[in-house]
Amino acid sequence: MSFDWATFALQLVNVLILLALLRHFLFRPVAAIIARRQAESAAAVEAATRARAEAEAAQAAARAEAEASATARQALLDKAQAEAAKARVDLLEQARAEAAQIIAEGRTALASEAAASARAQTRAACDLALAIVTRALSAQPDGLDGYAARLAQAITAMDPVERAALLAAPNLRIVLPHEPSDAERGTVSAALAPLGIDAPLVADPSLVAGIELQSDSGAVLNSLRHDIQTIAEALDDGRQTR
Amino acid sequence: METPFASAPAFALGPLVVSWTVVTTWGVMAALTLAAWLVTRRMDSAAPGRAQAVLELLVGTLESEIRATIPGDPARFRALIGTLLVFVLAANWSSLVPGVEPPTAHLETDAALAALVFAAGIYWGIRSQGLGGWLASFARPSWVMIPLNLVEQVTRHFSLMVRLFGNVLSGVFVIGIVLSLAGLLVPIPLMALDLLTGAVQAYIFATLALVFIGSAVTGESGEPPDNPDSSSDTRESA
C-alpha cells in the first residue's frame, strides 16, 4: 500500500478551497435567508402583537365610548322626560287657564246674552203689553153708557136657556170697577131694566173698566180686564201656534 | 505490481503529479459550488422553492446538531461541519457516475479530511480554552492519562480516516467484483446499498468530526453537553 503525499496535500487544499466556496455560496446565503425570515417572522409577530394591542385599545375605547354614549343617552332621556313632564304640567296649567278663561268668557257671554235676552223679552213684553192695551182700549166703548149698552147686547145675544139660568141663579149682581154714583146707577138700570134685570150693584176694582153681570151659575164678562185677558190669550195662542 | 489502493495519475504539472482522485475531487467541488450558486442566487424569504427549502432544512438541521453538541453559537462550525458532510456525501455518491472512482475510496482524501478535523480540533481547543487549558485537558482526569490521551488524539482521527476509507473502498470493491463476475445489471442493488452506505458514512464522519471538535472546545471526553446553550454568541457574519 502506498500513500501519495502530493495527492494528500492537494486534497487538503481542495477541501479548504471547497470549505471557502461553500461557505461563500451555500452556508452564508442560506443562513442569511433563514435569519431574514426569522426577522420577518419576528417583525410580523411584533406587528401582529402591536396590532392586537391597538385593536384591544380601540375595542376598549369603543367600549368606553359606548358606555359614555349610553350614559349620555340616559341623561338625555332623563332630561327629555323631565322636560316632557314639565311641558305636560305647563300644558295642563295652560289648558286649565284657557278653559277657565273660555268658561269665564262663556259665562260673560252667557250673562251678556241673558241680559240681552232679558232686555229683548222686556222690550217684547212692553211691546206686547202696549199692543194688548192698544187693542183692548181701541175695542172699549165710550163711557159707562157704552159698557151698559154692550152688556145689554151681550145678554140679549145669549141663548135664552142660558140667560134664564143665569138670571135665575142666586147671588145675581152687577159688578162695576168702583162704587157707582147715583147717575151711574140710573144709567145701568136704564140699560138693563128692559131685560128684566134688577140686581144690586157691586164694586170690584179688578175690572179696571166696564160692567159685568155675575151670578153663581155664570157671568157675562164685559170689562177691560176680560178684554185684555182675551186679547192676551189670543196673542199667546197665536205665538204658540207660530 | 499495481495496487488497487494507488491513485492513477491524470497529468503532471512539472514535478507535481496530479492523480484522478484530485481531478474527481475538482469535479465534485465544481458541481457542489455550481449547484450552491444556482440555488442560492435567487432565494426568496417569503416563498422559498423546493431546492431552497431543502438547503434551509439542511442548514437548520446542521445548526441544531451543532447546538446540541457544542455550546455557543453554531455558526462558528457550520461551514466546516457542513462542508465535510456535503463533500463526503458527494464524493461517496460520485461512484454512480460510470468510470469514476469516489475520492473517498483513496486514503489520501480521507487522510486530508481527518487531518483537517484534527487541525480544527487543535485550533478550536486552543481558541476556546487557551493553550494552557487545552494542554491541561490532556491531564484529565489525572496526569497519568496524558500518554493515553495523546495517543487517543491520534488514534481517533486515524480511525475516522480508516473507517471512511474502508467502508467506501469495500463498496467499490464489491461492486467491481460483482460487475466483473455477474454482468451489467446485477450490481444495481449493491449500488443502491452503496448509496445508503455512503450517506451513512458521510453522516458518521460529520458527526464524529463535530464530537471531536466539541470535545476539544469543552475540554471534555467528547460527550455531548447537557445544556446546548451558552453565553458566548460570536455569530458568524453573514
**pLDDT of A164-223, one tens digit each?**
888 888 888 999 998 888 888 888 888 888 888 888 888 988 888 889 888 888 888 888
ipTM, 2 dp: 0.87
- Asked if B151 has any chain A CB less than 8 Å from its own CB, the reply is no
CA distance B69 to B81: 12
- Provide mean pLDDT across the span B94-102: 88
3-state secondary structure of A173: strand
Interface touch B43/A29, C-beta < 8 Å: yes
* Whole-prediction pTM: 0.60
Model pLDDT, residue B228:
40
Of A150, A124, A152, whose CA–CA distance to A224 is shortest? A150
Q: Which amino acid does the sequence have at A32?
A: A
Q: Are strands A201-203 and A212-214 parallel, antiparallel or unpaired?
A: unpaired
- Asked if A29 has any chain B CB less than 8 Å from its own CB, the reply is yes
Model pLDDT, residue B4:
61
Q: Are strands B9-13 and A212-214 parallel, antiparallel or unpaired?
A: unpaired
Rounded to a whole number of angstroms, the distance between the first and last alpha carbons of chain A is 167
Contact between residue A28 and residue B82 where contact means Cβ atoms under 8 Å apart: no
Question: What is the nearest CA distance from A50 to chain B, expressed in angstroms?
Answer: 21
B62-72 pLDDT tens trace = 999 999 999 88
Residues 6+ apart with CB under 8 A from A108: none
3-state secondary structure of A223: strand
Model pLDDT, residue B230:
40
Model pLDDT, residue B1:
45
More confidently predicted of A234 and B165: B165
Model pLDDT, residue A1:
63
- Note which residues in 67-86 of chain B have CB less than 8 A from chain A: 75, 78-80, 82-83, 86
3-state secondary structure of B2: coil
Model pLDDT, residue A127:
84
A57-92 pLDDT tens trace = 999 999 999 999 999 999 999 999 999 999 999 999
β-sheet with A212-214: strand ranges across:
A201-203, A173-176, A212-214, A219-220
Model pLDDT, residue A209:
87
CA distance A34 to B59: 9
Q: Give A-chain residues touching B29 at CB under 8 angstroms.
A: 14, 17-18, 21
Q: Which amino acid does the sequence have at A63?
A: R
- Provide mean pLDDT across the span B74-96: 94
pLDDT band at A135 (very low <50, low <70, confident <90, very high): confident
Interface touch A6/B17, C-beta < 8 Å: yes
B119-148 pLDDT tens trace = 999 999 999 989 999 998 888 888 899 999
Q: Which amino acid does the sequence have at A94?
A: Q
User: Which stretch of A55-64, A73-82, A130-139, B147-156 has the lowest confidence by average pLDDT?
Assistant: A130-139
B108: nearest CB among A3, A25, A36: A3
Model pLDDT, residue B236:
37
Query: Is there a domain that residue A234 lies in?
Result: yes
- Provide mean pLDDT across the span A36-47: 91
Task: For residue A55, give Cα distances in angstroms to A39, A45, A61, A69, B115.
Answer: 23, 15, 10, 20, 60
Q: Is the pLDDT of residue B231 over 60?
A: no
The burial class, CB within 10 Å (0-12 / 13-18 / 19+), for B17 is middle
Task: Estimate to the nearest angstrom the gap between the alpha carbon of A97 and the chain centroid.
Answer: 14
The count of domains in chain A is 1
Q: Is the pLDDT of residue A24 over 70?
A: yes
Query: Is there a domain that residue A227 lies in?
Result: yes
Residues 6+ apart with CB under 8 A from B178: B186, B187, B190
pLDDT band at B232 (very low <50, low <70, confident <90, very high): very low
Interface touch A34/B79, C-beta < 8 Å: no
Percentage of chain B exceeding pLDDT 90: 53
Interface touch A1/B5, C-beta < 8 Å: yes
Helices (H) and strands (E) in chain A, counts: 6, 4
Model pLDDT, residue A144:
84
Domain that holds residue A191: 142-241
CA distance A126 to A120: 10
At which residue does the C-alpha cell 432565494 appear? B43
pLDDT band at B43 (very low <50, low <70, confident <90, very high): confident
CA distance B68 to B234: 17
Q: Is the pLDDT of residue B174 over 90?
A: no
Query: Is there a domain that residue A186 lies in?
Result: yes
Mean of pLDDT over chain A = 89
Number of C-beta neighbours around residue A77 at 10 A: 10
Domain range list for chain B: 9-218
Interface touch A26/B55, C-beta < 8 Å: yes
Grid cell, residue A144, equals 159707562
At which residue does the C-alpha cell 495523546 appear? B150
- Provide mean pLDDT across the span A214-235: 85
Nearest Cα residue in chain B from A26:
B36
Grid cell, residue A62, equals 369603543
Cβ contacts from A onto B, under 8 A = 127
